[in-house]
Structure 1
Amino acid sequence: MTTQAPSIRPAAEVRYAAELAALAAQDSFPRPAGWHLSPRAVRRFLLGDPGLGVTRKFYGDDPLVDRAIVSLMSQQGLMLVGEPGTAKSLLSELLAAAICGTSALVVQGSAGTTEDHIRYGWNYALLLAEGPSERALVPSPVLNAMRSGRIVRFEEITRCPPEVQDALISILSEKALALPELGPDAVASAAPGFNVIATANLRDRGVHEMSSALKRRFNFETVHPIDDPEFERELVLRQLAERLGAGGVTVTGEREVAEVLVRTFQDLRTGRTAEGVSLNRPDAVMSTAEAVNVLHAAALEAAYLDDGKLSAAHVARQLQGVVLKDSPEDGKRLRAYIDHIVKERAARSGAWKAFYQTARTLKLG
């Protein structure tokens, strides 16, 4: 007998199964055809309901969540655009998990994505043996979603060639997909509840621009970076606790260190400090997701290579791996930030002093 190894990152519907069940048990509000939860319950799943023990999962623009839910009730698809690391994929996963019970129907956009990933392919052994048949047909995630009345997620859609993207046009317009190999009248019609959530990275604009016809089939929503430092710090600490908890790792001092980390990321992301000093923004993505990665790496260093007390020095050592990704000039920009802004703050704060003492030794080019 074999046992399945635990997943590093279970799907949202698995991670939050208890919360989804609690919401469903008391959900008396009207729901669209095919939806597992009402729109009100979906909103509470994403934004939290302390009375039911439902945690907040999406940190950002609450009205955006409302608009996204309304879009998915309509005949339009939902297009989430934004800078890298702004939780577009997380938002699409949470919406799919709450609305249809699964976030697993996914098309990952890339240069290698073909129309088969959107429409269907064939089991060629069966195709040769018995000809075109339902048994030989291999449905795409989109076709599976249509037949079952669920949400399909299309990640990084602008990474796909235009002719592949445009395979969605008739699906979104007619809510049907012709299957001519199975007969002249063979059509897969979408069941109630079907829709598409697509994501696109603003830094990929121009890679494969979407056609006007396809754009008209989507409602566009921009997911902005979190601009409230306290809100972002809460999210970073929550994500750190989940990651460390899954591995049975404990550290101390994370709250004070998160303050330094989030302030640094906010300064570099916006190009302006809390004191009003203008900065040269790095080309690197200083997103909340990257902040979580840095704090997690720093915590692992503290737990496994140090005494378990997380300090801003651990964060400083991990920072160059984020900044030195895109442009050699970013090292100079970070060096200027350390030599001026961080140095000044170090004179007033022990955490900033630890950050400065380590950051000034970094090799930034």
Structure 2
Amino acid sequence: MNEHTTSVSLAAEHRYADELERLAGDDTAPRPSGWKLSPRAVRRFILGDPKLGVSRKFYGDDPLVDRAIVSLMSRQGLMLVGEPGTAKSMLSELLGAAISGTSALVVQGSAGTNEDHLRYGWNYALLLAEGPSERALVPSPVLNAMRSGRIVRFEEITRCPPEVQDALISILSEKALALPELGADRVETAKPGFNIIATANLRDRGVHEMSSALKRRFNFETVHPIADPAFERELVIKQLSERLEPEGIALRGVEEVADLLVKTFQDLRTGRTAEGTSLNKPDAVMSSAEAVSVLHAAALEAVYLDDGKINGAHVARQLQGVVLKDSADDGKKLRAYVDHIARERAGKSSVWKDFYKAARALKLD
């Protein structure tokens, strides 16, 4: 399941508004208080329903989607962890759109995130003029979600300082937030439907480790890379189409090249080819999101700098920018892959032959 990012900037609730409307019109299943759709309809929105013309948006681990939905019906928050590019943010966006009708309530974790981003701040001009008041209070996305009974998304939570993370403990435990400046007894209680989806990058683990108290307030789900090549191939082709459609670009040769790209990524990601040959895995992230980016760049090269037919050479030239990011040794690992695996396949396929010849010309060492 990789980070199924798309170049379309519209939020999921707008991008798939027609699908959500069809699902709502067909939805007769039991629905938790505060939810826009039933859990069954949420599942259909994410995993697809051909009968209603609802597209699959998340590929790979269908039971994980079920567990995520169940978590959000409970008193626990949902924590999605995984390698970069493994659909954590996309899944949280889809869940927010289907359950709450909006995915826009977001806290972006960083070293600069403070408790005001989780609780509330103040309009200081009004605060000085009027003193503490509801009008002067600036609610955080978390407080807005509590007041409206919706899902709030907390991206990259481990990038925040521990004291900021721990501000969530009482919110998740009590589903309430004190506003003492507005009155000694003023407490905002969350409406039904409120919950938190947080994401954390496994490569950031240790940056700001979560406290055990906070961990107990979340159900953890690990989002793994897509294991099924057919699923990943379907995904990258779909994502490429979404990226090219706004520009009206017609491209030839996509099917074969997508197959080559997915095989290459799966080989390097797992450290083993489908035939059982062991490989040295690069340190670089070989996610589906990166695969989509490579295929998109290759497509642009084919259309604007070539004859409009994408081939293996276009992929080889764009692959270098993905692999040579984290470690100088990754170039040597890709070179070994080209010299052995790609070379053997080049004798059986023209698309692999193009890939091999172009890859051999790259400066990888």
**TM-score with structure 2 setting the length:** 0.97
- For residue 114 of structure 2, what is the aligned residue in structure 1? 114
Residue pairs, 1:242-281, within 5 angstroms: 242-281=242-281
Q: By how many angstroms is 1:39 displaced?
A: 0.3
- For residue 126 of structure 1, what is the aligned residue in structure 2? 126
Q: By how many angstroms is 1:29 displaced?
A: 0.8
Could you tell me which amino acid in structure 1 is paired with residue 223 of structure 2?
V
Q: By how many angstroms is 1:293 displaced?
A: 0.5
Q: Give the secondary structure class of the aligned counterpart of 2:246.
A: helix
Q: Give the secondary structure class of the aligned counterpart of 1:33.
A: coil
Q: By how many angstroms is 1:247 displaced?
A: 2.4
Could you tell me which amino acid in structure 1 is paired with residue 213 of structure 2?
A
Q: Give the secondary structure class of the aligned counterpart of 1:188.
A: strand
Q: By how many angstroms is 1:8 displaced?
A: 4.1
- For residue 44 of structure 1, what is the aligned residue in structure 2? 44
Q: By how many angstroms is 1:246 displaced?
A: 2.3
Instruction: Note if contact 2:252-2:309 (Cα within 8 Å) is conserved in structure 1.
Output: yes
Could you tell me which amino acid in structure 1 is paired with residue 147 of structure 2?
R
Q: By how many angstroms is 1:296 displaced?
A: 0.7
- For residue 313 of structure 1, what is the aligned residue in structure 2? 313
- For residue 73 of structure 2, what is the aligned residue in structure 1? 73
- For residue 3 of structure 1, what is the aligned residue in structure 2? none
- For residue 4 of structure 1, what is the aligned residue in structure 2? none
CA RMSD of aligned residues (A): 0.8
Alpha-carbon displacement from aligned partner over 1:306-338 (angstroms, at most 9, x marks no partner): 111111111111001000100011011111111
Aligned counterparts of 1:13 and 1:166: Cα–Cα separation in 2: 30
Alpha-carbon displacement from aligned partner over 1:58-88 (angstroms, at most 9, x marks no partner): 0010000000000000000000011111101
Worse-superposed segment, 241-250 or 35-44? 241-250
Aligned counterparts of 1:9 and 1:252: Cα–Cα separation in 2: 26
Tell me, yes or no, if structure 1 residue 214 matches structure 2 residue 214.
yes
State the percentage of identical aligned residues.
81
Aligned counterparts of 1:166 and 1:250: Cα–Cα separation in 2: 50
Q: Give the secondary structure class of the aligned counterpart of 1:78.
A: strand
**TM-score with structure 1 setting the length:** 0.97
Aligned counterparts of 2:59 and 2:285: Cα–Cα separation in 1: 18
Q: Unaligned regions of 5+ residues in structure 2, if any?
A: 1-6
Aligned counterparts of 2:306 and 2:14: Cα–Cα separation in 1: 34
Residue pairs, 1:140-219, within 5 angstroms: 140-219=140-219
Could you tell me which amino acid in structure 2 is paired with residue 210 of structure 1?
M
Aligned counterparts of 1:164 and 1:363: Cα–Cα separation in 2: 45
Could you tell me which amino acid in structure 2 is paired with residue 250 of structure 1?
A
Q: Unaligned regions of 5+ residues in structure 1, if any?
A: 1-6
Could you tell me which amino acid in structure 1 is paired with residue 286 of structure 2?
M
Alpha-carbon displacement from aligned partner over 1:185-233 (angstroms, at most 9, x marks no partner): 1111101100000000111111110000000000000111111111110
Q: Give the secondary structure class of the aligned counterpart of 2:79.
A: strand
Q: Give the secondary structure class of the aligned counterpart of 2:81.
A: strand
Tell me, yes or no, if structure 1 residue 239 matches structure 2 residue 273.
no
The count of aligned residue pairs is 359
Residue pairs, 1:216-365, within 5 angstroms: 216-365=216-365
Q: By how many angstroms is 1:302 displaced?
A: 1.0
Aligned counterparts of 2:273 and 2:230: Cα–Cα separation in 1: 15
- For residue 59 of structure 1, what is the aligned residue in structure 2? 59
Find runs of 4+ consecutive structure 1 residues off by over 4 angstroms: none
Aligned counterparts of 2:312 and 2:177: Cα–Cα separation in 1: 55
Could you tell me which amino acid in structure 1 is paired with residue 278 of structure 2?
S
Q: By how many angstroms is 1:250 displaced?
A: 1.6
Aligned counterparts of 1:144 and 1:247: Cα–Cα separation in 2: 37
Alpha-carbon displacement from aligned partner over 1:328-357 (angstroms, at most 9, x marks no partner): 110111111111110111011111000001
Tell me, yes or no, if structure 1 residue 138 matches structure 2 residue 138.
yes
Aligned counterparts of 2:304 and 2:146: Cα–Cα separation in 1: 48
Could you tell me which amino acid in structure 2 is paired with residue 103 of structure 1?
S
- For residue 99 of structure 1, what is the aligned residue in structure 2? 99
